[in-house]
Amino acid sequence: AQSVTQLGSHVSVSEGALVLLRCNYSSSVPPYLFWYVQYPNQGLQLLLKYTTGATLVKGINGFEAEFKKSETSFHLTKPSAHMSDAAEYFCAVRYSTSGTYKYIFGTGTRLKVLA
Amino acid sequence: DTAVSQTPKYLVTQMGNDKSIKCEQNLGHDTMYWYKQDSKKFLKIMFSYNNKELIINETVPNRFSPKSPDKAHLNLHINSLELGDSAVYFCASSQRTVGPTGYGYTFGSGTRLTVV
């Protein structure tokens, strides 16, 4: 069965500090992995994705994530937090089932950036 | 240009009413989805259509019925609304047939449904 676990429903960092949002997945097949960001009262936006190839993936707004198969992880990082990074972040895994694709989302991590 | 647009953005209605939410995408994607996000921000897929054909139908009450007149539109009709239906509903689209490259979704901005 496929699943996604995001550790920490709330994360607070100081402005300029490292951002680390954790995501672990469970998948019986090679997964495609995604990070989405949701700003207040808005829909989700794709930050970055891993499909195949390079395990370190760079996304928008200075975020990056590394796919570690041995740890079944896809943690999201940013070297220096900005106030505008405050939002909800969702990790998701995509897999195939019955000839179609299905996504499972984690429960989200709310990032708070302190001045 | 709005890629995935949903209307209305807010919807407040009484229990027992019937309401519809509309979704349109201008990305040329062949697959559209409806997701429900509850008060705890948990996202759960409800339906998925590919080229007007229903391909995912999760366990949701029969009161929810999706309709896809063409591949650019996926509407959600809800009958006999209940308090528990209050949530934010997101429409999304993707290109399913792109092969192994695995594109992500493009989401609409959501419809906040409040049932009173």
Spell out which chain A residues touch chain B, with contact meaning CB-CB distance below 8 angstroms: 32, 34, 36, 38, 41-46, 49, 51-52, 88, 90, 92, 94, 98-103, 105, 107-108, 110
CB atoms within 10 A of CB A11: 18
Residue contact B41–A44, C-beta within 8 A: no
Where do we find the tokens 């949530």?
B87
Q: How many CA atoms lie within 13 A of A111 on its CB side?
A: 28
Model pLDDT, residue A115: 92
Minimal-distance CA residue of chain B relative to A88: B41
* Low pLDDT (below 70) residues in chain A: 97-101
Would you call the peptide bond into A79 cis, given omega within 30 degrees of 0 as the criterion? no
DSSP secondary structure of B26-78: -S--SEEEEEEE-TT--EEEEEEEETTEEEEE-S--TTEEEEEEETTEEEEEE
Does B68 lie at the interface with A, CB-CB under 8 angstroms?
no
Minimal-distance CA residue of chain B relative to A52: B101
Closest CA to B9 of B93, B108, B116: B108
- Measure A16 CA to nearest chain B CA, in Å: 27
Model pLDDT, residue B104: 72
Closest CA to B6 of B89, B95, B94, B96: B89
Cα separation, A93 vs A99, whole angstroms: 16
| Chain B residues with beta carbon closer than 8 angstroms to that of A52 | 100
Cα separation, B112 vs B110, whole angstroms: 6
Model pLDDT, residue A72: 93
What's the full length of chain B, in residues? 116
Does B100 lie at the interface with A, CB-CB under 8 angstroms?
yes
Where do we find the tokens 């960001």?
A37
Nearest-10 Cα torsion for B104, B42, B46, B75? -80
Q: Let me know: does A28 contact A96? Beta carbons within 8 Å.
A: no
Tokens linked to B68: 């896809």
| Chain A residues with beta carbon closer than 8 angstroms to that of B56 | 100, 102
| Chain A residues with beta carbon closer than 8 angstroms to that of B43 | 44, 90, 105, 108
| Chain A residues with beta carbon closer than 8 angstroms to that of B96 | 100-101
Q: Let me know: does A46 contact A57? Beta carbons within 8 Å.
A: no
User: Phi and psi at residue A58, in whole multiples of 5°?
Assistant: -100, 140
Model pLDDT, residue A100: 64
- Give B62's strand partners: none
Predicted confidence pLDDT, tens digits, chain B (116 residues): 668 999 999 999 999 999 999 999 998 888 888 999 988 778 888 888 877 777 777 778 889 999 999 989 999 999 999 999 999 999 998 876 544 445 677 889 899 999 99
- Rg over alpha carbons for chain A, rounded to the nearest Å, is 14
Closest CA to A85 of A24, A35, A34: A35
| Chain A residues with beta carbon closer than 8 angstroms to that of B44 | 105
